[in-house]
Amino acid sequence: MELNTLLDVMERVLDGSHAAVLSTVDAQGRPHSRWMVPAVLRGQPGSLYAVTSPHFAKIEHIAAQPRVSWLIQSKSLDEIVEVTGKAQVIDNPALKVDVLEALGGNLSTFWHVNSDETDLVVLETAVETVTYFQPNKGERSSASATV
């Protein structure tokens, strides 16, 4: 499959699951994974967006090593999408509004651990590779962006 097709699949699977696992690597090379709620913004199909607190450890991880991995799966586990890319932390009010709107009401857990609605930043991941796996069919497709 071509990258644009795989990006469409990624968005479709994400729209159904509303959650993904983000993996980062800290400055000592140790991996860390956590559940997040990412979204694709209309007009920005080559990036994934999420919000987080600027005080969470993933901010330091991304500063030390911006390469990250996202794992998105359908609720029925018959579709799995792995996305790798380069993440950056953005503190831009207009982008925050856009991302919060795209994420909708899927942030209840985030608001429990970060009760200050104004204390957040955006994580933007520029997609480098997308791998789509259908375990029931034994099929795998992968494509990379030109970087």
Alpha-carbon distance of 58 to 40, in angstroms, equals 20
Dihedral sign from CA coordinates of 135, 58, 40, 120:
positive
* Residues 24-56 pLDDT 10s: 999 999 999 999 999 999 888 899 999 998 999
- Domain layout of the chain by residue ranges: 3-137
Query: What are the E-state strand segments in 80-120?
Result: 80-90
The pTM of this model reads 0.90
Alpha-carbon distance of 52 to 119, in angstroms, equals 9
Q: Going by CATH, does the domain composed of 3-137 fall within 2.30.110.10?
A: yes
* Residues 60-83 pLDDT 10s: 999 999 999 999 999 999 999 999
Q: What is the pLDDT of residue 117?
A: 62
With contact defined as beta carbons under 8 Å apart, do 35 and 73 qualify? Answer: no
